[in-house]
Structure 1
Amino acid sequence: MAQTRIPCVLMRGGTSKGAYFLAQDLPDQPVLCDRVLLAAMGSPDARQIDGIGGGDSLTSKVAIIRQSLRSNADVDYLFAKVIVDEPRVDYGQNCGNILAGVGPFAIERGLVAPPHAGGALSTRSFIPHRCHTSIGVFGAVSVAAACLIPGSVVADLACVGEGTVKHLSIEHPTGEFTVELRLRDGQLVSCGLIRTSRLLFDGAVCIPEALWSSNPVDCTE
């Protein structure tokens, strides 16, 4: 069977894992793009045995990234959740875990310059989704911050060390994340999540060539 090779990076982002693509390497037509992503991840199949999805909602995730045309962003990041056991791709949400890998991917693909002399790198990502009416993790971060502020009503709930920079690990049903809190003279000056990412694979994912056409055939027969 003839195959089409699509450049792809597999990365762990936070407590998830996903396939990262440049937008230019995927079809422009939404229906065709969905078909390609389903084939790449191996959906619909509970095991995703014919793709790289991993058979779990935490690993059947995709990041589609392009150089941003916006003056206030470096890259555009579109998150796609490929449903494991349905022929469906969901673009209606965002994933902070996969977002953790967007910066490293942008470096790998030359979309942003790497840091020099061991310095830090900050990227500005634009997420072209409809806004969430609420994001539950913000509440967890707020509570974690309150736990780390001396004198707050929940300060006694957390055991942390001394110092102006404090960390607190927050568990959730699918993993954990760390909140970093910075104090100055006893006052909160910054608070945020710490998520890491790691490059797992850099190469190409193969899909049946017949899928990448305007008149696809059934490649499962």
Structure 2
Amino acid sequence: MTLPEEVPCMLMRGGTSKGAYFLAGDLPGDAAARDDLLLRLMGSPDPRQIDGLGGAHPLTSKVAVVRPSDDPDADVEYLFLQVAVGEAEVSGGQNCGNLLAGVGPFAVERGLVPAGGDRTTVRIRMMNTGDLAAATFPTPGGRVEYAGTTALSGVPGTAAPVVVDFPPGSGALLPTGRVRDTVAGTPVTCVDNGMPTVLIAAADLRDTGITGYENPGELEENTALARRLREIRLAAGALMGLGDVSTATVPKLSLLAPPAEGGAVTTRTFIPVRCHTSIGVLGAASVAAGLLIPGNVGERIARLPPPGGRVRIEHPTGHLDVTAAVDVGEDGTTPVPGRTAVVRTARKIFDGTVFARPAAPYRTSAPAPAPAPLEGGTDDSASR
């Protein structure tokens, strides 16, 4: 008898996403073997992910791999992996700021970082990009406290706050070197404040029949919009130095419309094909920074707070507040990222062992064939 592979795992909600958290030492060191195992653990490829941990959506088919860091500027290293739902693909081409919210608590739970009194700060190296972040969260009595009064749009109930601070990254805030570009006949602002993002005024896509206030399902059903966004993403990806992004998960595309609920701007973000039911943390950080650059495509759309105020990014299920700053580089003209911070929450859902589906060819789930009638009688199983 062949026993199933078993791996220690913690399932956590981080921000508005959900994912499986693993210690790097509990997974194969070879990337191909690791990815094959993760596909079988998550239940991909299958649009329902019925035979694994995944929740049949990109936001619930995520993995965080964490290990101690030898870097004097970091306590742990965090590798984010996006496990595709309907395809046998695992991508490390982007960060995830939502799962990032759970990395600090996970590191304390696993003993990688000791609790530091009533509050603990964990310094995190995000291996997808090399950037740093610091997560601060309550640890009264030396244990992670998940209960609290902080509410997040798109998450039921409340939980303890996790303050995630991002020091300025070393990459270009404007990857193309320009505040505005025209791609596929559409004005855009390409920005990267932790997530390569293309800002597009929804009004510039009115020929596809959208306003920017539709719900995600309506936008996903708009085939004219899908074709236009694909053209923009492929062209913008090349301009941003990302190469051929036809099979990549970046850049993200954020449609901008005037705020509807008193925030700075209304967004609809594509990740990259499905429309996000909210907005990613790093995507929101990039939108906020982009809006602060004079001349951006959202300049006449956004209603920005006074300098130093939080930029409230509206999304389909509420809003996300971002503390963001844009400074000027040594040449006196080039915009460079300043401090960025957000408040998230996280919750431990289970901690235990997950068992992998056997390593065999996958078939996507399909309705089972009707059972054959019982010999000598009729099949009444449907009525039982």
Q: TM-score, normalised by structure 1?
A: 0.75
Q: Structure 2: how far apart are the matches of 1:175 and 1:83? A: 26
Q: Secondary structure at the match of 2:5?
A: strand
Q: 2:314 is matched with which residue?
A: 171
Trace 1:1-221 onto structure 2 (pairs within 5 A): 2-116=3-117, 118-129=118-129, 133=175, 134=192, 135-136=196-197, 137=283, 138-142=285-289, 157=303, 169-172=312-315, 176-180=319-323, 192-208=341-357, 211=359, 217-218=360-361
Residue ranges of structure 2 left out of the alignment (5+ in a row) = 131-170, 176-191, 198-282, 294-298, 326-337, 364-384
Residue ranges of structure 1 left out of the alignment (5+ in a row) = 147-152, 183-188, 212-216
Q: Structure 2: how far apart are the matches of 1:168 and 1:219? A: 45
Q: Structure 1: how far apart are the matches of 2:40 and 2:341? A: 36
Structure with the bigger RCO (C-alpha within 8 Å, sep 6+) is 1
**8 A Cα contact 2:73 2:123, kept in partner:** no
Indicate how the Cα distance of structure 1 residues 129 and 57 shifts in structure 2: closer, same or farther if over 3 A, else same: same
Q: Structure 1: how far apart are the matches of 2:40 and 2:111? A: 27
Q: Structure 2: how far apart are the matches of 1:72 and 1:122? A: 11
Q: Structure 2: how far apart are the matches of 1:119 and 1:33? A: 34
**8 A Cα contact 1:9 1:20, kept in partner:** yes
Q: Secondary structure at the match of 2:35?
A: helix
Q: Structure 1: how far apart are the matches of 2:18 and 2:320? A: 15
Deviations 1:157-186 (A, max 9, x none): 4789xxxx965642235764222489xxxx
Indicate how the Cα distance of structure 1 residues 27 and 174 shifts in structure 2: closer, same or farther if over 3 A, else same: farther
**Equivalent pairs, count:** 197
Deviations 1:53-107 (A, max 9, x none): 0000000000111111222211111110000000110111111111111111111
Q: Secondary structure at the match of 1:33?
A: helix
Question: Which of these two proteins has the greater Rg computed from alpha carbons?
Answer: 2
Select between 80-89 and 1-10 the one with higher mean Cα deviation.
1-10
Aligned residues: CA RMSD: 3.3
- Alpha-carbon shift at residue 143 of structure 1 (Å): 6.9
Q: Structure 1: how far apart are the matches of 2:319 and 2:309? A: 16
**8 A Cα contact 1:65 1:78, kept in partner:** yes
Identity %: 43
Indicate how the Cα distance of structure 1 residues 158 and 126 shifts in structure 2: closer, same or farther if over 3 A, else same: closer
Q: Secondary structure at the match of 1:37?
A: helix
Q: TM-score, normalised by structure 2?
A: 0.45
Q: Structure 2: how far apart are the matches of 1:15 and 1:50? A: 23
Q: Structure 2: how far apart are the matches of 1:129 and 1:102? A: 16
**8 A Cα contact 1:60 1:82, kept in partner:** yes
**8 A Cα contact 1:144 1:170, kept in partner:** no
Q: Structure 1: how far apart are the matches of 2:324 and 2:83? A: 34
Q: Structure 2: how far apart are the matches of 1:34 and 1:71? A: 29
Q: Structure 2: how far apart are the matches of 1:67 and 1:120? A: 16
